[in-house]
Chains A and B, each alone.
Chain A
Amino acid sequence: MNTEMNTGVTTGLRLAGVAKDFPAGRRATRRVLADIDIAVAPGEFVCVVGASGSGKSTLLDLIAGLKPPTAGTIAWDGEAVTGPGPDRGLVCQTGELFPWRTVAANVAFGLELLPISRAERAARVAWYLEEVGLTGYAGALPGRLSGGQRQRVAIARALACEPHVLLLDEPFGALDVQTKEDMQLFLRNVWQDTGTTVVMVTHDVAEAVFLAQRVLVLAGHPGRVAGEVTVGLPADRDLLTRRTPEFLALRTSIEDLLRHR
């Protein structure tokens, strides 16, 4: 464990000595995460891969502030995370849109809570709808959208709040392969256009390598960071990137880390 991470103000997201216990029956607890030290620089795209039950979704809940860590600290630019807030937008696998609000009104939700004019809100919503390619669906209700479209609305809704970091919890896990690949290209574009920091959790190693600049491998019970792989692929990635030997080598090394701890 690296304790010097606790001291001094650093930029970006910093988890130091984080652990999380859940209750398991009477008076017993089960540790799901232990000794988590992670640093994410502003603007970075980091993927966390791990098997089901490795605690990766819990890790995102902790960063989002939805659950308190049992031990350790979580901070952005040295300021401790104490609860959920619009500086850390979370998108989960099912998206969870407001079903009674139109697509545009969904994206506007966070902005409605801020003292900005109606015109400025509308302009911002329009920009994000354009960015995620859903301008034509502004007035549609979420029930009419496909799975991929819904996830794009959820991402636009989180980004409209201009978070320090966008937290994605297996956002494409329920999509078919083709849609998933489109969404990955889309997410790379959004990340490059907005410069936002992204921490994404996934069990799909190929997805992690394709998207991230750095991949953290979470493994074991309780989950610990079993390894870290820097993805040295070029910035302009496309579907052909997946067939390069470099891509396969990265994928293999991460899969080995997952299997052998």
Chain B
Amino acid sequence: MSSPQRTEEQRQAPGRIRANDGRANDGRADWPPLPARRVRRPNTWLAPGLAISRGPRWALRAASLVVPFLVWVALSWTGAVDPTFLPSPRATVAAFADMARSGELLTDTLASVRRVLYGFGIALAISVPVGFAMGTWGWALAALEPIIGLVRYWPASAFIPLLIIWLGLGEPSKLAVLVLGVVFFNTLMVADAVRQVPRRLLEASMTLGATPAVLVRKVMLPYALPGIIDAARVNAAAAWNFVVIAELFAATSGLGYRIVRSQRFLLTDRIFAVLIVIGLIGIAMDVLLRLFRDRVGRWAA
């Protein structure tokens, strides 16, 4: 760009124009050299983001499970903690076998899983369309984001007494806790996933003849689907938490109910067995959803 101060001679010889229009800039002459720096190889354990090698990685992964288990074994074997409070692994396994044999473990597990399937299904049926609309249209986002942003900070568990008053002691109030617990978070996360669709991709699609309906169906939905499944994966874990919480109150079946029952008779070994079952089912759900996501979103990997 030409500037007004430039002389006619500089105008004639564009190849010799200096960035500062030829003013002297000499201050650099009396600078001392910068202090010496030592260049070291980064420490593998402390350098952020450096991959660790295979052996140590698997060793640490194994230790992450084995060490807490050994602490548990040591604590109960030495008798440092009263077995009423901390049942031994052996007692826990026995309690597990006991409940499995009587069939109550299977009944309770099925009851909880069924509630998660229904409740989380309802939550998805609401949050995916609403979140998609919020990510697609500015007016939907403006209308819904403030209220959802507020409501999601109300703990679903705090609603249990109110929901029992409103919906009674049966299934509806339990499903409602679960739905309230995940629907708002999932809505906002779905909206976020949809907003990741690049504007330039939408513009390119429009110059290929895409109408708004085509954009939603053939561009935004496929682009956002892996992100939507990721959101569902995170919130499925929350749903699994909420079902157990809902069953702690006024339930007659479910893993949460089994914990409360066991507490009444001080059967901590049974509580431990149930907790382990809850953890294993949670991991199984996570792995399944991750496999599904990797299948759908192969292109994103």
Residues of A whose CB lies within 8 Å of any CB of B are 51, 64-66, 83-86, 88-92, 94, 96, 98-100, 109-110, 112-114, 141-143, 154, 157-158, 161, 167, 256, 259-261
Chain B residues within an 8 Å CB radius of A143: 299
Chain B residues within an 8 Å CB radius of A114: 209
| Cβ 8 A contact of A92, one of B14, B204, B214 | B204
A-B contact pairs, 21 of them (CB 8 A): A84-B207, A85-B209, A86-B207, A89-B207, A90-B203, A90-B204, A92-B203, A92-B204, A99-B299, A100-B223, A109-B218, A112-B218, A113-B209, A113-B214, A114-B209, A142-B299, A143-B299, A154-B204, A157-B208, A161-B208, A161-B209
Tell which of B2, B200, B219, B223 has the most Cβ of chain A within 10 Å.
B200
Chain A residues within an 8 Å CB radius of B299: 99-100, 141-143
B125 contacts partner chain A, Cβ-Cβ < 8 Å: no
B39 contacts partner chain A, Cβ-Cβ < 8 Å: no
Contact with A along B271-286 (1 / 0, CB 8 A): 0000000000000000
Across the interface, do B2 and A260 meet the contact criterion of CB distance under 8 Å?
A: yes
Chain A residues within an 8 Å CB radius of B207: 64-66, 84-86, 88-90, 158, 167
Contact with A along B177-215 (1 / 0, CB 8 A): 000000000000000000000101101111111100010
Instruction: Determine the distance from Cα of A109 to Cα of B206 in the docked complex, in whole angstroms.
Output: 11
B222 contacts partner chain A, Cβ-Cβ < 8 Å: yes
| Cβ 8 A contact of B208, one of A51, A66, A92, A158 | A158
Main DSSP-derived SS at the B contact region: helix
Of all chain A residues, the one with the shortest Cβ separation from B202 is: A96
CB of B110 to closest CB in A, whole Å? 37
| Cβ 8 A contact of B200, one of A51, A96, A141 | A96
Across the interface, do A109 and B200 meet the contact criterion of CB distance under 8 Å?
A: no
Contact with A along B1-32 (1 / 0, CB 8 A): 11000000001001000000000000000000
Chain B residues within an 8 Å CB radius of A100: 222-223, 299-300
Given contacts A96-B198, A98-B219, A98-B222, contact A109 B205 (CB under 8 A): yes
| Cβ 8 A contact of A110, one of B198, B203, B208, B223 | B208
Chain B residues within an 8 Å CB radius of A51: 1
Chain A residues within an 8 Å CB radius of B11: 260
Across the interface, do A96 and B201 meet the contact criterion of CB distance under 8 Å?
A: yes
Instruction: Determine the distance from Cα of A165 to Cα of B204 in the docked complex, in whole angstroms.
Output: 14
Q: Which 6 A-B pairs have the closest CB atoms?
A: A86-B209, A84-B206, A110-B208, A100-B299, A90-B207, A96-B201
Across the interface, do B208 and A86 meet the contact criterion of CB distance under 8 Å?
A: yes
Give the number of residues in B that approach A within 8 Å (Cβ atoms): 22
Chain A residues within an 8 Å CB radius of B222: 98, 100
Besides the contacts A84-B206, A141-B299, A142-B299, what 16 more A-B pairs have beta carbons closer than 8 Å? A86-B209, A88-B207, A89-B208, A90-B203, A98-B201, A99-B299, A100-B222, A109-B205, A113-B208, A143-B299, A157-B208, A167-B207, A256-B14, A259-B2, A260-B11, A261-B2
CB of B215 to closest CB in A, whole Å? 11
Across the interface, do B200 and A92 meet the contact criterion of CB distance under 8 Å?
A: yes
Instruction: Determine the distance from Cα of A261 to Cα of B1 in the docked complex, in whole angstroms.
Output: 8
Tell which of A88, A90, A261 has the most Cβ of chain B within 10 Å.
A90
| Cβ 8 A contact of A109, one of B203, B208, B223, B300 | B208
CB of B298 to closest CB in A, whole Å? 8
Instruction: Determine the distance from Cα of A142 to Cα of B298 in the docked complex, in whole angstroms.
Output: 12
Chain A residues within an 8 Å CB radius of B208: 86, 89, 109-110, 113, 157-158, 161
Instruction: Determine the distance from Cα of A110 to Cα of B222 in the docked complex, in whole angstroms.
Output: 16
Chain A residues within an 8 Å CB radius of B203: 64, 66, 84, 90, 92, 96
Of all chain B residues, the one with the shortest Cβ separation from A219 is: B1
CB of A39 to closest CB in B, whole Å? 21
Across the interface, do B219 and A66 meet the contact criterion of CB distance under 8 Å?
A: no
Instruction: Determine the distance from Cα of A142 to Cα of B204 in the docked complex, in whole angstroms.
Output: 15
Instruction: Determine the distance from Cα of A141 to Cα of B301 in the docked complex, in whole angstroms.
Output: 11
CB of B181 to closest CB in A, whole Å? 32
Of all chain A residues, the one with the shortest Cβ separation from B1 is: A51
Given contacts A96-B201, A143-B299, contact A66 B206 (CB under 8 A): yes
CB of B219 to closest CB in A, whole Å? 7
Given contacts A92-B200, A96-B200, A259-B14, contact A113 B300 (CB under 8 A): no
Instruction: Determine the distance from Cα of A64 to Cα of B204 in the docked complex, in whole angstroms.
Output: 10
Across the interface, do B209 and A96 meet the contact criterion of CB distance under 8 Å?
A: no
Interface residues of B in 130-183 (CB under 8 A from A): none
Chain B residues within an 8 Å CB radius of A91: 204
Chain B residues within an 8 Å CB radius of A96: 198, 200-201, 203-204
Instruction: Determine the distance from Cα of A256 to Cα of B11 in the docked complex, in whole angstroms.
Output: 11
Chain B residues within an 8 Å CB radius of A99: 223, 299-300
CB of A85 to closest CB in B, whole Å? 7
Of all chain B residues, the one with the shortest Cβ separation from A169 is: B200
Chain B residues within an 8 Å CB radius of A110: 208-209
Chain A residues within an 8 Å CB radius of B218: 109, 112
